[in-house]
Structure 1
Amino acid sequence: MEIVKVHKGNIDKFIKFSKSIYVGNAHYRDTMSRTVINILKGKAQICKGNFIEGVMVQDEGRIVAVCVFSVIDRMKDVLQMAYLEMVDDDKAIDTLINYGKTLAKEHGINKLLAGLNIHVNYGLGFLASHFDTDQSLGSAYNPDYYIKLLRTRSTEEITLISYLTSMDTFEFHLEDRLMDRILKEYTVRKADFRNLEKEAKIYTDINNKAFKSHRFYYKRKAEEDLELFREFKLLLKAENLLFLEHKNKPIGFMLWYPDFNQLLSEGESIGLKTLIKSKLFPNTIKKFKIVEIGVIPEYQKTGAVFSLFHECNLLTKGKFDFCESGWVLEDNIASTGLGVRWAQGEYKQYKVFLINV
């Protein structure tokens, strides 16, 4: 087997192979190709000043594995194996890992990280359960053998979990008096996408404060998040990004949106067609996603977050049957405790793997 580096002339082969893994899989939706292409072309904001190298493993001319190796200036202690796709073949993944170890040594790094797609905002974790359910927007999907191949080669395995609840039980069971006090103390406003740059910066600033202790989060640049918002601007409404404020000071946010993947067919990508479908058939989407919640540290144990859930409930009640959360780290007691209190139970599991060099 041999390593072939990705360049502008063979990016299409990288993408074609990635899609080929899921041919005939009714649960897969193509939510990453556009981002991966921009990264491989060096056009994405995250590429600036960072080491990005796409590679393909070939076996007698046939591609058997791909990934984007990356070292980010704000996370220099690991070499990422981002956007990893592979056939069920021990030699294929071993070839990729061995090449990664060589790269890591060149950069003075002693760990490979598989499961982070360059930044948590692009994706974190390989699906490790519920392979027979449809992929929701913003969540990973992959064949079950990915876990088998990576687990036996890793030195550490980290678990993430998501939650699912019926809108009939979207409650926190707080005393009315306590809820009234919280709602009087904290206000929630919708984003103003007419001033997208300003709102994206507020989002980035809160993110950087709220998640500075998160194991896989590194400080984000405003232009990187602005790029993501512009990509989804056609589908997002002002109500999908809620800002939490205390005395006119932004202290938190909630990003939620309808699961637009429910409008897509097998292997389809989000695009203009999705927007048209969402206008013509709004009742087709039965589930929405709470993708991300961030509250700055000094307000994390005040109950302020319940104002966000209260507003979200008002906006979604009667429009959807289910709500799915994004992932949280299994050892994040505060987040898992909130999930247990709010949801009917744990839903999908995801895995991240660290490999010693």
Structure 2
Amino acid sequence: MISDFTTKQSLQSLSQGQPYQTQTAPCPITPSQIRFVGQVESLMTRHAAEGDFHFVLLALSDGLMFRGKWRAASDELLPRLGDVIHIETEPNGFDLMVNNLPSVNTANQLAGKACCLIKNWQVIPAPYPLEMLDQLYCITEQPETLDRLWGIIQRIPVPILRSWLSDLFANTQLSLPFAQVPASHNHHHSHAGGLLLHSVECAEWVEQVATRTLNPKEAALSVIAALLHDFGKIETMNEKGFSQFVSHEVLSLTLLEPSLITLQAQWPQGAYALRQMLSWSTFSEKFPKFPGALLVKMADQYSTSLSARNKAFHALPEHYYWARLKTSNSVQMFNRIN
């Protein structure tokens, strides 16, 4: 997988000495920084006078191979054979990146080949096919936030809910736009991938409080409600004018209902509780039936406020302590202390 992003065809041209050509693909091109998703085929450590290096061979989703290396660190946990990892290369740090060659069979062969210098790597714990992960990391401008999303799913302590949430994101008709669209047009997180970032921020903040104050089942439901509270925006932020017909809160429940029916067959109480938590903002009660819904609301407001303030101060000198953010229906004033 290549994202942030370059297409595999472009890398083939590079490895064969051909001129670089921009491809008509959903991935924007940033030649100085390239990301991959691949499965670990071979891994070794080589000791040398200039330092120790780890060498890795990755199988990409289209059958191409990627060779990379990074400087070894003490007490470093390494990926295992068969793991799917997401890597980011050093800018201009490659000699030979991709080639349509057979897999390397020995450690000496792997270390002897020209390799790309790896800046960061992360094991992806998501139980999805390599092709699907390739798509997700290619289209999103928030690859690190995708890594955080898999961590949230993995930490859900209730097996039924963890499996349910994993299955939900296995549906690429839902997960691809969720990873790509902004959270608003000109307010908070109004950039590509903003919905993913806002949703993950809310879920992580709710997780910190809910796991300490609620029982495991209610805490897990609260985290999931925070993650999915704006899910309807994958429709409203995709279609011009569509948000004027149906609110994203209503569309969230509409889009999730097929999955909620599946959850209801396994755990009816959990499915109804999640429906209630996702719809509470449309009611007028002072307190929600589930306190976790209040955590979701506060996390939503906090994440929104931080993003909007950052947007307001974005182009201003550091010594400015107030700023104004104008949206389509309001003007919001912000302060900061430096």
Question: Is the TM-score greater than 0.5?
Answer: no
- Greater relative contact order: 1 or 2 (C-alpha under 8 angstroms, separation 6 or more)? 1
| TM-score bin (small chain) | under 0.3
If the length of structure 1 is used for normalisation, what is the TM-score?
0.26
TM-score, normalisation: structure 2: 0.27
More strand by share: 1
